Chain A
């Protein structure tokens, strides 16, 4: 088999993007999930719907708006000059922002579900034991919702690895900078490099299988723990 040497470049870039996106999503998504699980405001479902929109929106639509927003005439034109760039579009930070928005529902929803399943009672018990809300959150809510965090992290990571439309719209196809796995496969096929394409594709199938299997095992463990 004669593979071109740069086959690992998109793999590394994809893993970097997915890992960074997952970390950002856990940091940003946890307070959102907590608020959605606990708030009693009537308009919280509107926020929930906004977070969930990427589930049904064609990735190209999201990608289009992000391209506008990240470009020189949008917010990207204001932010990017801070480190001397002209735009956030077609850059790695732009990809992270796009991935965070696009994978948000996959992280927020499982964590929100876990917080809701936990109910108010453990937090109330902690409060009656002199625990501040902050301490109760870290010592009670987070450990009790840990399966939700795990599910969210895995789904967020996997979904970022598999995204195509948004990346193509805002990142383009710059090898080493924005060319991720799914785009690379597309590229190899376009150039009739079938060997490279099939190696990457097979790797993705194995990866997807592992993700789904892990999710199912976590779910099984959750059911057992709940009973």
Chain B
């Protein structure tokens, strides 16, 4: 079980902050550490890196970095660490920053210099000083520097938080490509759900030094016992495969478990895997299939469970397909319309989906 997972268990005090965090996630893909500021995300990731010395256990892909008896110093852990601020060495050129952690022996280097600089678009900056880079360029160099140290685990501490929205949009595609091309597990700290929905496969939810829940992103998003599903901008992520592309009206048909969505999009290749995002607020319910509507996506669903909220809203968990065994959707409706339609868990109804967003390419195996 632990051979291909990242397993973490830390309990202790750091100053006056108490951390009590355990989780185990697959050692592949992106795991997002998500929670409000000050909940201990950075402390936890620093413990994993060994930068904070706290009693606990940490193993990555079967290799134990820390347990009751042993503590590996940070430089003895095969990590890559991308700090919030790029933290480049100001006295070294971009090239020498990139090469700082690069093993001298070329054997066994999975990640090559030319490959990384091309992937991150920094191949034109190599002879510059970090002082003369923009914030986005600096962060890209920092990511490249971490990758070239040939890590077994990449730790990213809100690498985009110090950047403005435009620079974020400039870097996100690089992060997505990273994820597609490299078989490298990534622990990614964020307090921005949009970032998480775009990048993460697994999610670790944190609150006041504790792990509230950990698991696949789409499972946690659709878990009505967690605050995530009840928030105002609650949404689910769906793995979809392109089954048709209509060139005339610019609509693609994407199949998910138990249903199909029509999504306006640029031409997509049939067979491609994509992630769809459906917000709970964009899903309304109907007892019968509406005959004429501008809403193109109307899918049979079964109401699986519900949760009432303080603001007179009801969040319903829906299973796609006639028997409700397909992918999960969330719907956020008012108590009033819920009662008017006389809805109840177990009923088969129709979900009208007003908006579906294409988020990113998805690995076929996911």
State which residues 226-284 of B face A: CB under 8 Å. none
Contact of B100 among A126, A143, A144 (CB under 8 A): A126
A131 pairs with B87, CB closer than 8 A: no
Q: Which of A129, A131, A133, A225 has the most CB of B within 10 A?
A: A129
Complex: A127 Cα to B83 Cα, angstroms: 13
Contact of A125 among B76, B87, B91 (CB under 8 A): B87
Contact of B89 among A130, A133, A140 (CB under 8 A): A140
B74 pairs with A128, CB closer than 8 A: yes
- Nearest chain A CB to B3 CB, angstrom units: 24
Check: A45 CB closer than 8 A to any chain B CB.
no
State which residues 118-166 of A face B: CB under 8 Å. 121-122, 124-133, 136, 139-140, 143-144
Given contacts A126-B100, A127-B74, A128-B79, contact A144 B91 (CB under 8 A): yes
A131 pairs with B83, CB closer than 8 A: no
B51 pairs with A124, CB closer than 8 A: yes
State which residues 188-221 of A face B: CB under 8 Å. none
Complex: A133 Cα to B88 Cα, angstroms: 17
Check: B49 CB closer than 8 A to any chain A CB.
yes
The interface size of chain B toward A, counting residues with CB under 8 Å, comes to 24
- Nearest chain A CB to B83 CB, angstrom units: 7
B87 pairs with A130, CB closer than 8 A: no
B91 pairs with A121, CB closer than 8 A: no
B89 pairs with A125, CB closer than 8 A: yes
A131 pairs with B100, CB closer than 8 A: yes
Contact of B83 among A125, A132, A139 (CB under 8 A): A125
A144 pairs with B74, CB closer than 8 A: no
Contacts of B90 in A (CB 8 A): 144, 225
Contacts of A128 in B (CB 8 A): 49, 51, 74-75, 79-81, 101, 146, 149
- Nearest chain A CB to B96 CB, angstrom units: 10
State which residues 141-176 of B face A: CB under 8 Å. 145-146, 149
Check: B73 CB closer than 8 A to any chain A CB.
yes
Complex: A136 Cα to B76 Cα, angstroms: 13
Contacts of A132 in B (CB 8 A): 75
Contacts of A139 in B (CB 8 A): 100
Complex: A133 Cα to B146 Cα, angstroms: 18
A122 pairs with B87, CB closer than 8 A: yes
Contact of B101 among A130, A143, A225 (CB under 8 A): A130
Contact of A131 among B75, B85, B88, B146 (CB under 8 A): B75
Contacts of A127 in B (CB 8 A): 50-51, 73-75
- Nearest chain B CB to A175 CB, angstrom units: 46
Complex: A132 Cα to B80 Cα, angstroms: 15
Residue on A nearest B74 in the bound complex, by CB: A127
Contacts of A225 in B (CB 8 A): 90
Contacts of B88 in A (CB 8 A): 125
- Nearest chain A CB to B218 CB, angstrom units: 31
Contacts of B83 in A (CB 8 A): 121, 124-125
Contacts of A144 in B (CB 8 A): 89-91
Contacts of B80 in A (CB 8 A): 128
Residue on B nearest A146 in the bound complex, by CB: B91
Contact of B91 among A129, A136, A143 (CB under 8 A): A143
Complex: A61 Cα to B51 Cα, angstroms: 46
Residue on B nearest A225 in the bound complex, by CB: B90
Given contacts A130-B101, A131-B75, contact A125 B81 (CB under 8 A): yes
Given contacts A124-B74, A140-B89, contact A129 B100 (CB under 8 A): yes
Contacts of B87 in A (CB 8 A): 121-122, 124-125
Complex: A115 Cα to B49 Cα, angstroms: 23
Contacts of B81 in A (CB 8 A): 124-125, 128
Complex: A144 Cα to B89 Cα, angstroms: 9
Complex: A136 Cα to B91 Cα, angstroms: 13
User: What 1/0 flags go to B5-46 for Cβ under 8 Å of A?
Assistant: 000000000000000000000000000000000000000000
30 contacts between A and B (CB under 8 A): A121-B83, A121-B85, A122-B87, A124-B74, A124-B81, A124-B83, A124-B87, A125-B83, A125-B87, A126-B100, A127-B50, A127-B51, A127-B73, A127-B74, A128-B75, A128-B79, A128-B81, A128-B149, A129-B100, A129-B101, A129-B145, A129-B146, A130-B101, A130-B149, A132-B75, A133-B73, A139-B100, A140-B89, A144-B90, A144-B91
* New A-B pairs, 20, CB < 8 Å, besides A121-B85, A130-B76, A133-B75: A122-B87, A124-B51, A124-B74, A124-B87, A125-B87, A125-B88, A125-B89, A126-B100, A128-B51, A128-B146, A128-B149, A129-B75, A130-B149, A131-B100, A139-B100, A140-B89, A143-B91, A144-B90, A144-B91, A225-B90
Could you list which residues of chain A lie within 8 angstroms of chain B, going by C-beta atoms?
121-122, 124-133, 136, 139-140, 143-144, 225
Top 9 nearest A-B pairs by Cβ distance?
A129-B101, A128-B81, A127-B74, A143-B91, A125-B87, A127-B75, A129-B149, A130-B75, A129-B100
